[in-house]
Amino acid sequence: MPELPEVETVRRTLKNFIIGKKIFDIQVHYDKIVEGDSHQFIETLKGQTIRDIDRVGKYLIFILDKDAFISHLRMEGKYNLTDAFKPLNKHEHVNFIFSDHSEMRYQDTRKFGRLKLASKDSYRLDLPLSKLGPEPWNADVEQIYQSIHKSRLPIKTLLLDQTILAGIGNIYANEICFRTKINPTTPGNRISRKRIAELVDISSQILSEAIKQGGTTIHSFDSNGISGLFQVNLQVHQQKNCPACQGTIIKKMINGRGSYYCPHCQKKRS
């Protein structure tokens, strides 16, 4: 699943190719990808030029002359950039045709991703973006502490709650717990202010490092599409042995998500 750093990489990569391009037409091949009326989506955006791409949490916001649209890649979404002559593949569901005959195609094998019209001026204040918490580098530790401290849910689950902190997905939540030596099953109300400050700090560091790596590993887009996925240096997620103590890493489902941790380095504190 694309996480914040991958979505940021997609944003930066797409910006290099589509800023200034005018949308000549849009074809929607699978209606549910577009939230609301897909005909309205098409008619509103046709004729407008893409001016910028913003990102809030894991959402991309395409900003045009008069309107905007939001894109969430969910599990498998990605963008393919191609020329008009390449036949559509069966997973390309929305096709943005530019006036220079190039195309941006939204591909999604699992069809969970969504596109939605938005206001260019107030998209941050409207749903769904208005519900998002701050990204870790903008977070106020006291505010995050208050949100986490009142919950008995496992810290791993709280890190994934986008209304508390935006942009942390399953892989990075595992890595953040490992780097802060917090057991992912620890209830939120058992974690001190000091530890929350560490968590926010490490979250910020890990996501920033991943963005840096992503920015240097995406060299081409035409073979695999722009998914932003790249090899990050994972210490615990899907690993067998702990890089710190060489002990066995445990996999446990926490709230339905595969969680990896070292029971020796991430002891549960009472």
Residues that bind Zn ion (CB under 5 A): 242, 244-245, 247, 262, 264-265
Ramachandran class of 84: left when φ > 0, alpha when ψ lies in -120 to 50, beta otherwise: alpha
State the minimum distance, in angstroms, from the CB of residue 183 to Zn ion: 12
Separation between Cα atoms, residue 51 and residue 63, nearest integer Å: 6
Separation between Cα atoms, residue 45 and residue 74, nearest integer Å: 23
Q: Which is nearer to Zn ion, 81 or 177 (CB)?
A: 177
Can you list the alpha helix ranges (DSSP code H) found in the chain? Answer: 4-18, 38-45, 141-149, 155-160, 170-179, 193-217
State the minimum distance, in angstroms, from the CB of residue 243 to Zn ion: 8
CA 126, 128, 131, 137 torsion: positive or negative?
A: negative
Token representation of residue 20: 């200034």
State the minimum distance, in angstroms, from the CB of residue 206 to Zn ion: 18
State the minimum distance, in angstroms, from the CB of residue 252 to Zn ion: 15
The H-or-E segment that residue 102 falls in is strand 102-107
Q: Is 15 a catalytic residue?
A: no
State the minimum distance, in angstroms, from the CB of residue 2 to Zn ion: 28
Q: Which of 2, 136, 154, 184 is catalytic?
A: 2
Q: Which of 58, 114, 179, 195 is catalytic?
A: 58
- The residues that bridge with 56 in the sheet, in sequence order, are 59
Q: Is 58 a catalytic residue?
A: yes
Q: Which is nearer to Zn ion, 197 or 265 (CB)?
A: 265
Residue in the block written with tokens 């790249």: 230
State the minimum distance, in angstroms, from the CB of residue 237 to Zn ion: 14
Q: Which is nearer to Zn ion, 27 or 185 (CB)?
A: 185
Q: Which is nearer to Zn ion, 75 or 245 (CB)?
A: 245
Specify burial of residue 205 (Cβ count, 10 A radius: 0-12, 13-18, 19+).
Answer: middle
Q: Is 136 a catalytic residue?
A: no
Q: Which of 74, 76, 257, 263 is catalytic?
A: 257
* In the complex, residue closest to Zn ion by CB: 242
Token representation of residue 185: 């099953």
Ramachandran class of 211: left when φ > 0, alpha when ψ lies in -120 to 50, beta otherwise: alpha
Separation between Cα atoms, residue 236 and residue 171, nearest integer Å: 9
The alpha carbon of 66 is separated from its chain's Cα centroid by a whole number of angstroms, namely 25
Q: Which is nearer to Zn ion, 14 or 155 (CB)?
A: 155
Q: Which is nearer to Zn ion, 208 or 235 (CB)?
A: 235
Q: Is 269 a catalytic residue?
A: no
| Catalytic residue list | 2-3, 58, 257
